[in-house]
Structure 1
Amino acid sequence: MAPSPMIKTEVAAKANGTSKQAARKRFDGVFETLRDEIMADFTAKGMPPDAISWYKRNLEYNTPGGKLNRGLSVVDTVAILKGRELTEDEYFKAALLGWCVELLQAFFLVSDDMMDQSVTRRGQPCWFRVEGVGLLAINDSFMLESAIYFLLKKHFRQEAYYVDLLDLFHDITYLTEVGQLLDLITAPEDHVDLSKFSLERHRLIVVYKTAYYSFHLPVALAMHMCGIPSSSSPSSSFDPYKAAQDILIPLGEYFQVQDDFLDFAGTPEQIGKVGTDILDNKCSWCVNTALALASPEQRAVLDANYGRKDAEKERAVKAVYEELQIRERYAAYEEGAYKKIMGLIEQIPETPTADGSPVLKKEVFKVFLDKIYKRTK
């Protein structure tokens, strides 16, 4: 499960009057506390020093170090929903849930890198390629996932929404694994078969592999922590959790389509890397759009050149993209996606409930959308 680059979140930093760097440093500090709690429990089980050292290294190598946008999104959303600066306890709990999302991400990445036989991750060797690790990384990925449930039990077992947190993590994990299966059987890097590609297959992969855990999960966790009920009142048919999902899944789809387009059209200076989707046989929005529009001659070019580790063949595919006006078609797609998502956001009622229950706020989604719309990196 290759990571999709997440939105750069700044809401928590602004809400607390701190810099973005200081907000990240505070968030990192919570990881250190949680790591120590995990290791204290592990040590108390009578584990020998080499096992203790291994697990600690696994946690530190694979969990922090990324952009942390998924985890920080939990903190940001809690701050928006509460509409004020968080107390120390509220911040800790929100950050803890954020780190649980990052642990889930780490579990996915360690296992995915083995499936893809990737070489590097976040500027360092993939965990399974570190000397002495190898296939032990399979069990290490399981231990990263298990740490989520240790932390939830330790800090949320007494909360009325504890079971909701467990259900959410279990459900989202399963949905992401479904997306991974779809991706693996559709676009293996070593076997190109464009007959398996389609815009609908791309949509399914994006929704299940990325949108649920990257967009829906952080917001839903924050909503549970803030006590937002499943309906705004006993007489209301409005379900805030369904409304949030109905916005966040299309938002995640839009983000990934945008990422696919930037892989083709963005410069290394813009996106911080050289795009490789064509070379790597990715089931990208660009190729699927091209396949839907291509003439027989253009289709032949795509079949002969897509997914090959050859710069000339990559240029041939890009030439077809230009002939089919992928840039203009993406611009039209982006405007349509923006209008659709904004329309869904505007349907959220923000009137106070009769019983004083917390309400879902439009700002949660507008912050996400504003960070994505027209981005170039």
Structure 2
Amino acid sequence: MPGGGALRSDVGTAPWSTPGASVEPALDELRAEIDAALDRFLTDQARNAPDECIPPLVEVVRDFLAGGKRLRPLFAVCGWAAGGGEPDDPAAVRIAASLELFHAFALIHDDVMDSSDTRRGQPAVHRVLARRASEGDAAHFGLSAAILLGDLCLVWSDELLHGSGIEPDRLHAARSVLNAMRTEIMAGQYLDLDPAAAGDEFEGAWRVVRQKTAAYTVTRPLQLGALLAGAQRDVVAGCADFGDPLGEAFQLRDDLLGVFGSEATTGKPGDDDLRAGKRTVLMRLTWQRADADQRAVIRNLHGSADLSSDQAQQLREIIRSTEADSEVESMISRRHERAVRALQALAPPARAAAMLTELAGRSAHRTR
């Protein structure tokens, strides 16, 4: 295999793993199959590249994919299983792999928009590509090349999905969900960029959660897998009942980790969200509960490009003093409980139910 070699799997040591869980080996094996499908696809892209500039870019993608949790692909396979398919069906694995390439597209562009230096403890793709500039402005080259590479991942995602071996009528049936997922994440990214478009401060934060992350992380992958397996409408609706609250819990956990997470664990500098002035539910709650003096500090420091570590700690202390972090923890627990109840009502096949129960815990209570 050219370049970086096989994708590295970190499921066995993942900090959100449940020790001794009987379903965990099956999820580990499933992730390994997804990684193998990605490896095969990327190797083919390098081997059949229309130009010699492509294989080095394939290796950048391969390295970028190495650290992912594969939650969206795993949810897609669970949706397939809930719809009556076998989880280890090669077609289901290729569908799942296509979602990981779509996720790579979204993350590469997200890091460009956020001017992030790192992702998963490694330099962000635009930083990696900046080092390859042969002349001119290296930073501009890196940003431009990352946009193109993200677009390439989007195209490859579609190519892998349509080469999965699924019957055309099922692909057609799932097209509406795929289109909705793509549009929702673009809307969420735009709302994240433009707070005026998001509207009311607190409701605006929830709009970003729901459009950018919640449905895209759980509901849409589940529904896509279910429809491609030939599921009936009640199963597709049940996927939303389970996925919507769990996707919100996932993003709320992300908001907490973005402020209180350890860089050694999350792979992301702990002050980035505060420095970027992310308008999260956590920060909106903090603002609502803060007194006049605390609001003055938030107004002065939140979103400051040169925010120091001490100033970031000031903001954390205000968050804790308002107990906004505790409220967000309660929100996560309530949404996780709603998802579990919805899963019981959905009553998928036993194997799918076990995997979804484990993934729900990983999503809501992860540490990275």
Identify the TM-score tier after normalising by the shorter chain. 0.7 to 0.9
- 2:251 and 2:213 map into 1 onto residues whose CA distance is 8
Does residue 288 of the first structure (1) align with residue 284 of the second (2)? yes
- 2:324 and 2:291 map into 1 onto residues whose CA distance is 14
* Cα offset, 1:220, TM superposition: 1.6
* Cα offset, 1:207, TM superposition: 1.1
- 1:209 and 1:85 map into 2 onto residues whose CA distance is 27
- 1:265 and 1:16 map into 2 onto residues whose CA distance is 27
The count of corresponding residues between Structure 1 and Structure 2 is 339
Stretch deviating more after TM superposition (251-260 or 64-73): 64-73
* Cα offset, 1:303, TM superposition: 1.1
C-alpha distance 323-121 of structure 1, shift in aligned 2 (>3 A): closer
- 1:120 and 1:267 map into 2 onto residues whose CA distance is 14
| TM-score, reference length from structure 2 | 0.77
2:252 to 241, 254, 257: 257
Do the aligned residues in 2 keep the contact of 1:79 with 1:85 (CA within 8 Å)? yes
* Cα offset, 1:271, TM superposition: 5.0
Do the aligned residues in 2 keep the contact of 1:175 with 1:208 (CA within 8 Å)? yes
**Which residue of structure 1 lines up, in the alignment, with residue 173 of structure 2?**
164
Deviation >6 Å, runs of 4+:
358-361
**Which residue of structure 2 lines up, in the alignment, with residue 190 of structure 1?**
none
* Cα offset, 1:31, TM superposition: 1.5
Give the partner amino acid of 1:71.
Answer: P
C-alpha distance 67-375 of structure 1, shift in aligned 2 (>3 A): closer
* Cα offset, 1:85, TM superposition: 6.7
**Which residue of structure 2 lines up, in the alignment, with residue 75 of structure 1?**
77
- 2:366 and 2:297 map into 1 onto residues whose CA distance is 30
**Which residue of structure 2 lines up, in the alignment, with residue 310 of structure 1?**
308
1:111 to 90, 109, 112: 109
**RCO higher in 1 or 2 (8 Å CA, sep ≥ 6)?**
2
* Coordinate RMSD, CA, aligned: 3.6
Bigger helix share: 2
C-alpha distance 301-138 of structure 1, shift in aligned 2 (>3 A): closer
* Cα offset, 1:336, TM superposition: 3.0
Stretch deviating more after TM superposition (98-107 or 141-150): 141-150
- 1:272 and 1:121 map into 2 onto residues whose CA distance is 6
- 2:82 and 2:22 map into 1 onto residues whose CA distance is 11
Structure 1 unaligned regions, length at least 5:
1-5, 188-194, 231-238, 351-357
Q: Give the fraction of aligned pairs with identical amino acids, expressed as a percent.
A: 22
Do the aligned residues in 2 keep the contact of 1:103 with 1:145 (CA within 8 Å)? yes
SS at match of 1:279: helix
**Which residue of structure 1 lines up, in the alignment, with residue 41 of structure 2?**
34
2:145 to 113, 133, 136: 136
Give the partner amino acid of 2:299.
Answer: D
**Which residue of structure 2 lines up, in the alignment, with residue 298 of structure 1?**
294
Give the partner amino acid of 1:140.
Answer: L
- 1:363 and 1:24 map into 2 onto residues whose CA distance is 16
SS at match of 2:279: coil
**Which residue of structure 2 lines up, in the alignment, with residue 183 of structure 1?**
192
- 1:304 and 1:8 map into 2 onto residues whose CA distance is 35
C-alpha distance 210-261 of structure 1, shift in aligned 2 (>3 A): same
**Which residue of structure 2 lines up, in the alignment, with residue 370 of structure 1?**
361
**Which protein is bigger by CA-based radius of gyration?**
1
C-alpha distance 113-27 of structure 1, shift in aligned 2 (>3 A): same
Structure 2 unaligned regions, length at least 5:
1-13, 134-140
- 1:118 and 1:274 map into 2 onto residues whose CA distance is 9
